[in-house]
Amino acid sequence: MATATKKKNYILLTGKDDSAFCQRVSDRIDEGYELYGSPSITFNIFKRHPIVAQALVLKKKPKTKRAAK
């Protein structure tokens, strides 16, 4: 029997600034996350490529109003 894993409310993706990283961010957006804040970027001087980070948060579902009895 497989158990469902609860999605984290907040995630931080990091990696080389390439199309694979962009795809990872896009995949999370498709899963219900939204961008949180601006991306950060630094440079790996040893491997000579940019490293990026992007925070994402799980979209909150609107609370449903209960009907008055």
Q: Return the domain boundaries, the chain.
A: 10-58
Percent of the chain clearing pLDDT 90 (strictly above): 68
pLDDT in tens, 47-67: 899 999 999 999 987 777 776
Q: What is the pLDDT of residue 65?
A: 72
Question: Which amino acid makes up residue 63?
Answer: K
Q: Which residues of 21-60 are buried (b: 16+ CB within 10 A; e: fewer)?
A: beeebeebeeeebeeeeeeeeeeeeeeeeeebebebebee
φ, ψ at 27 (rounded to 5°): -60, -40
Average pLDDT of the segment spanning 4-30: 94
Average pLDDT of the segment spanning 19-40: 97
Among candidate residues 63, 64, 7, the one with its CA nearest the CA of residue 34: 7
- Which residue, chain included where needed, has tokens 């984290």? 8
Q: Is the pTM of this model over 0.85?
A: no
